[in-house]
Structure 1
Amino acid sequence: MRMEMKKDIGATNQAVVNNGNFVEEDQEEAVSSFKFSHLLASKDRDFLLSPSGAQVKVSELEGKIVGLLFAANWYPPCRGFTQLLIGIYQELKNNIPQFEIVYVSSDEDLDAFNGFYQNMPWLAIPFSDLETKKALNRKYDVEGIPCLVMLQPDDSKGEATLRDGVELIYRYGVQAYPFSKERLEQLHEAEREKLENQTLANLLANNHRDYVLSHTTGLLTQ
């Protein structure tokens, strides 16, 4: 389930629109660049927040695969997906350092942001930077949350961007890495082959279980 966000990105950012604080034209031009420093930094900020509270230079993301997590604490599906994503993230980061996630908040206020973000192991755009968050929502046409946009390094035209990261995580988990269109096609092809070669065994079993239950003897292997 996803919360539709047709006109705004939550109560906080709606207030920004009402006050007339739209993103300036030169910032819009910067957001169109593929450089993460242009996407995720601003005129007055060249860093992201880390879970420890330390500042991490946006430039440290260059060359990495980056997921932008658009979410908010007030919507239960965001909390559920975030818990799932934490496990995926930790498993990938243990083996693949060239991967990162950045939280783009739609929380109501700073206390809500701090309460939600304190459980996340990845980076975040500061809550106070409303303009950057609004620009990212507009650039990637975010109309519902949770939303996970996967960005590839040095993708100047955005042709490799995947905007259905939530579905990929739910459907494939860590197998979706590196979240490229080529990898997605491989996974789809594997699914097609599995459907074409279905047997009773692969219909009833999965990667973690090769048995079914019996009323009399307990477990029956296939």
Structure 2
Amino acid sequence: MEELFGASLLSKDGPVPVSTLSQSKYVLVYFSASWCKPCQAFTPMLDMFYDSINSFEKDVEVVYVSRDHTTEEFEEYYGKMPWLAVSYEDCDRRNMLKETFAAKSVPSLYLINTEGVVKKSDCVLDVKNKGPLCINEWNLALVS
């Protein structure tokens, strides 16, 4: 995972080692931006999904990759999110992730395995249309 995200990610309490991702069953990579109207509608849905799935045990972790235009936009938008993020200042890494995941639009949400391989790329639709029930499909995707 360090090849993708570097040594650490941002959390609300400061930097955390990327190795913490291995503690979650489901790791999602979320490309979004504050200026994007569909993102503004989807982020609260993802937040509710995240809270619902993690209500008993931390099963899901999200890594936010910002497509914002300024640090201020990033900080304000990320301030509303409970999950981890790639540092906004690491522009090269954010661009590399955009290319690696072929994230051409926002919002985009990808399920990855412990090696950082994309196992499902249409997770925005899963969260919107199936909510927590999509976990069954994600389990199958992770083992295939």
Normalising by the residue count of structure 1, what TM-score does the alignment of the two structures yield?
0.59
Larger helix fraction of residues: 2
Which residue of the partner structure matches residue 135 of structure 2? 177
* Whole-angstrom distance in 2 between the partners of 1:136 and 1:161: 15
* Whole-angstrom distance in 1 between the partners of 2:83 and 2:96: 21
Conserved in 2, the CA contact under 8 Å of 1:48 and 1:124? Answer: yes
Question: How far has the Cα of 1:140 moved from its partner?
Answer: 1.1
Which residue of the partner structure matches residue 90 of structure 1? 51
| Equivalent residue for 2:122, pick from 155, 160, 164 | 164
Q: What 5-or-longer segments of structure 2 have no aligned partner? A: none
Is 1:55 the counterpart of 2:15? The answer is yes
Q: What 5-or-longer segments of structure 1 have no aligned partner? A: 1-35, 184-222
Q: Which amino acid aligns with 2:77?
A: F
Question: How far has the Cα of 1:61 moved from its partner?
Answer: 0.9
Which structure would you say has the larger Rg? 1
Which residue of the partner structure matches residue 101 of structure 2? 140
Question: How far has the Cα of 1:94 moved from its partner?
Answer: 1.6
Question: RMSD between aligned alpha carbons?
Answer: 1.9
| Equivalent residue for 1:127, pick from 85, 88, 93 | 88
Residue-pair matches, total:
141
SS of the residue corresponding to residue 180 of structure 1 reads helix
Identity over aligned pairs, percent: 27
Larger strand fraction of residues: 2
SS of the residue corresponding to residue 83 of structure 1 reads helix
SS of the residue corresponding to residue 80 of structure 1 reads helix
Q: Which amino acid aligns with 1:56?
A: V
Q: Which amino acid aligns with 1:176?
A: C
Deviations 1:35-59 (A, max 9, x none): x121111xxxx2111123x111111
Normalising by the residue count of structure 2, what TM-score does the alignment of the two structures yield?
0.89
* Whole-angstrom distance in 1 between the partners of 2:128 and 2:9: 27
* Runs of 4+ more than 6 Å apart: none
